[in-house]
Structure 1
Amino acid sequence: MLLLLGSFLLLMLVGVPVAISMAVASVLYIVLYGVAPDIIVAQRMIAGVESFPLLAVPFFILAGNLMNSAGVTGRIYSFAVALVGWMKGGLAQVNIIGSVIFSGMSGTALADAAGIGTIEIKAMKDHGYPVEAAVGVTAASATLGPIFPPSLPFVIYGMMANVSIGALFMAGILPGVVMTLLMMITVAAFAYRKRWGSDAPFNVRELLSAGMEIVVVLMVPVAIYLMMRAGLSMNAAAGIALLVLLALDWYFGFSAVMALMTPVILIGGMTMGWFTPTEAAVAAVLWSLFLGLVRYRTMTLSTLAKASFDTIETTASVLFIVTAASVFAWLLTASQAAQLLSDAILSITDNKWVFLILVNLLMLFVGCFLDTIAAITILVPILLPIVAKFDIDPVQFGLIMTLNLMIGLLHPPLGMVLFVLSRVAKLSVERTTMAIVPWLVPLFLALILITFIPAVSLWLPQQLGLLR
């Protein structure tokens, strides 16, 4: 175990990518100790990605890229400005609301930071906000992406922990709302302290229009449900609702109704049993193509090709990490690392809450050094048996793990959101890190609530019958 972990950490310290570090450390361990035939590396790597739920990964990545290339990001931003831009610290509030909406399409923090985050930082700088404030709120709001459904980390966690991905998606909604409110309160506090004004005039017409768009979107699932109660089939009810929505969108000239429908389609479709989370990813891609090619007509063959190639590149890197981490995690288990860690934790405490505090500290530390996907793939097989001993619901633990690792994305040395925003804002990594620090307060408050109040995560899936 010392050789396995030591060689992995050494390779990372000298700058070798995470996936290659794990693969080289695994091969070195197998060759030197002969614990298994060399062919086992290839077999474990293939087994690591031979999973139906993992098909959701490239499709959700593609959906986020298509939304960016179709100009949907800009429409979401304009809608958020009409909704909350008139508040004090308006563009900071817009930043948060825009991330909430965009998270229902991409499922990744990086897509949020690189997509709508780019627009938000430029707008805040143009309106006189300090660049550090723009970077800080963008980084904090980007963590909402993997908490609200759909979520790529939830897909990986559900596969590794053998937990319902649909239950994980539903469990993320209430914590996501809590995080959004905490961030908006933080913005209000900064606005009061630093005397930030509003960034858009209070326009009753625009506010009513934005409110009407929300009402129209929310009425779609209600209308489908009522039509089904009246005897129509699910497909017929959905078809009629979509036609009426298109007619309203055309007649009133809404700016973002069709974009706002994306999370409604995904969440509503999974809740009503129309499709599995993996099929929901395909539905997101089809809806993105419809918006870009038919409704808004902003997507060209070149932008479609660019989105496709970006997806191939991102998917390849994600799945390479999964394959390397699956071998590494298997060797950690074979070398009794899981049992050693379990014995060490149980020798320290037999209290569930103390265990959760220790696990939070561990994952906050790991999140600063390991890629999110790699961390989930490695830690789940090690920690889940201990979680079961303490009778902690694995769905709640999935929320705890994901939020910890999202916070890790904001820290050096390997925080990818940190580096993306540093490049976008043209700030040094050091200044970007200091800009993010104050915005960790609402994230840690949300983490405490999710950790110590299980109902925050489990109430909604229990009401929907996804958990016992």
Structure 2
Amino acid sequence: MTTIVLFGTFALFLLLSVPIGIALGLSTLATIFYTGAIPVQFLMKELVTSVDSFPLMAVPFFILAGEIMGKGGISERLFNFANALVGNKTGGFAMATIVTCMFFAAISGSGPATVAAIGGIMIPAMVRQGYDKKFATATVAAAGSIGVIIPPSIPMVIYGVVGGASIGDMFIAGIIPGFIVGGALLAWAYIYSRQQGYKGLAEKTSLATIGKTFWEAKWALVIPVIILGGIYGGIFTPTEAAVIAVVYGMIAGLFLYRELSIKDMPKIFADSALTTATVLIIVGSATAFGRLLTIEQIPTQVANFMLSISENEIILILLITLLLLIVGCFMDTLAAIIILTPILLPIAVNLGYDPIHFGIIMVVNLAIGFITPPLGVNLFVGSGISGLSIEQLSRAIIPYFFAMIFSLLMITFIPELSLWLISFAE
């Protein structure tokens, strides 16, 4: 009965459009009152202790770094470089948009932030080039989901904290999967553009143009090298890398590109603080919710139930994938990771999956949730930029959804795609 109260009240609050973080906290509180065996202080304690974590400090700093770099002239320079690489191909603008999102993903660590930073520039530009607005917006929304797969990634930080996995290893493991997802999106953009007759730039790409745009974007492109190189070189931790990303972004925006001013900083700090507060409320509430699940032994019950269905590894991992895809439609990525990792990780380990590989599987699964309604955060951001309805955008995104599913299956059943770089780095 306790389980019914916990999930029933949570579903009710979601139906009432209560924000996910508040809904998790209120459902936990309602269950505490129902059981009468757990003190109310339990919720307050979890809200505080769950965010009292040094690795978790990377989250607000990566959010701040993404805000600074998104407003510091980096997005436009990344696009110019991507456009020089692929702009003359069929569907060149669409492909350049996806490549730009992949570049920006290596800076922001956030899907919605990538859509906001790149979409504001690229959706109007693609429409001016003759692209259908629905296709243009769907392209940015889908490519923005790569923001949580290519490192640095905020969901990977959360998974590392909850699952006890190395955040540095998670970052390294996300590189090849991120390129696989990006490649699948590029493939569909090319196919659709060829069908619709979307031509690339008339002029041919020259090495001089590529070199020029690369040089202009060099301060942005070097950021992932600094972050990952520093972490794996033992120079600093992922949390310290996030701080360095902030300082570097400020230097690049204020002094190198000179598209930021001191007057811009208060708004950037305020926007970052608002996003951070939202994230940390979700983290705290989801942790309390997950701890209550553990007390009620729900993870064990779920594991036993799944194992009772089948002991076949392929069937079980497909069931886990289906569960994550469904959850991603209704629940915030960070909340889903915090709640489901203690439930699903032991099952995956028993099936022989490496914890790092399974973490990548979870992140890619939940990244697809960014483009699946009703939650579909990237859809809402893209809709806000383009003015399209969520219904129109949901239909336009379907081919990209299947491209990401294909990538997910590759990543799931070929562990080397996630683990090879880690073994090479070691």
**TM-score normalised by structure 2 residue count:** 0.97
- What residue number does 2:187 align with? 185
Unaligned runs of 5+ in 1: 214-253
In structure 2, what residue type is equivalent to 1:368? C
1:104/1:150 contact within 8 Å kept: yes
Residue 288 of structure 2 is aligned to residue 327 of structure 1: yes
Deviations 1:272-291 (A, max 9, x none): 11111111111111110110
* Deviation, structure 1 residue 383: 1.3
In structure 2, what residue type is equivalent to 1:201? E
Change (3 A) 1:452 1:205: closer
Residue 154 of structure 2 is aligned to residue 152 of structure 1: yes
Which of residues 297, 310, 335 is equivalent to 2:271?
A: 310
- What residue number does 2:261 align with? 300
Distance, in Å, in 2 between the alignment partners of 1:90 and 1:312 is: 37
Distance, in Å, in 2 between the alignment partners of 1:453 and 1:80 is: 29
Distance, in Å, in 2 between the alignment partners of 1:204 and 1:44 is: 57
Residue 21 of structure 2 is aligned to residue 12 of structure 1: no
Distance, in Å, in 2 between the alignment partners of 1:372 and 1:88 is: 34
- What residue number does 2:169 align with? 167
Alignment of 1:90-105 (within 5 A): 90-105=92-107
- What residue number does 1:109 align with? 111
- What residue number does 1:452 align with? 413
Deviations 1:220-255 (A, max 9, x none): xxxxxxxxxxxxxxxxxxxxxxxxxxxxxxxxxx31
Alignment of 1:217-232 (within 5 A): none
In structure 2, what residue type is equivalent to 1:292? G
Q: How many residues align?
A: 424
Distance, in Å, in 1 between the alignment partners of 2:78 and 2:114 is: 12
Alignment of 1:282-431 (within 5 A): 282-431=243-392
Partner of 1:388, secondary structure, is helix
* Deviation, structure 1 residue 208: 4.2
In structure 1, what residue type is equivalent to 2:92? G
Change (3 A) 1:206 1:25: same
| More displaced stretch, 80-89 vs 199-208 | 199-208
Distance, in Å, in 2 between the alignment partners of 1:18 and 1:180 is: 29
Unaligned runs of 5+ in 2: none
Which of residues 215, 224, 227 is equivalent to 1:263?
A: 224
In structure 1, what residue type is equivalent to 2:71? S
- RMSD after superposition: 1.3
Distance, in Å, in 2 between the alignment partners of 1:440 and 1:160 is: 28
Change (3 A) 1:58 1:15: same
2:365/2:408 contact within 8 Å kept: yes
In structure 2, what residue type is equivalent to 1:268? G
Alignment of 1:8-47 (within 5 A): 8-47=10-49
Distance, in Å, in 1 between the alignment partners of 2:184 and 2:198 is: 18
Distance, in Å, in 2 between the alignment partners of 1:111 and 1:353 is: 34
Distance, in Å, in 2 between the alignment partners of 1:141 and 1:153 is: 17
1:127/1:199 contact within 8 Å kept: no
* Deviation, structure 1 residue 105: 0.7
Distance, in Å, in 2 between the alignment partners of 1:399 and 1:341 is: 21
- What residue number does 2:396 align with? 435
- What residue number does 2:76 align with? 74
In structure 1, what residue type is equivalent to 2:304? D
In structure 1, what residue type is equivalent to 2:249? S
Distance, in Å, in 2 between the alignment partners of 1:265 and 1:22 is: 37
- What residue number does 1:123 align with? 125
Percent identity over paired residues: 40
**TM-score normalised by structure 1 residue count:** 0.89
In structure 2, what residue type is equivalent to 1:449? M
Partner of 1:457, secondary structure, is helix
- What residue number does 1:227 align with? none
2:78/2:220 contact within 8 Å kept: yes
* Deviation, structure 1 residue 26: 0.6
- Shift >6 Å, 4+ stretches: none
2:91/2:200 contact within 8 Å kept: yes
Change (3 A) 1:200 1:145: farther
Partner of 2:203, secondary structure, is coil
Distance, in Å, in 2 between the alignment partners of 1:50 and 1:40 is: 15
Distance, in Å, in 1 between the alignment partners of 2:218 and 2:19 is: 41
1:61/1:106 contact within 8 Å kept: yes
Partner of 2:146, secondary structure, is coil
1:4/1:29 contact within 8 Å kept: yes
* Deviation, structure 1 residue 206: 4.3
Larger radius of gyration: 1
Deviations 1:93-127 (A, max 9, x none): 11111011111110110110001122111110111
| More displaced stretch, 77-86 vs 314-323 | 77-86
In structure 1, what residue type is equivalent to 2:128? D
Distance, in Å, in 1 between the alignment partners of 2:236 and 2:39 is: 41
1:82/1:206 contact within 8 Å kept: no
Which of residues 80, 85, 88 is equivalent to 1:86?
A: 88
Which of residues 268, 272, 279 is equivalent to 2:240?
A: 279
1:81/1:200 contact within 8 Å kept: no
1:99/1:145 contact within 8 Å kept: yes
* Deviation, structure 1 residue 210: 5.1
2:67/2:272 contact within 8 Å kept: yes
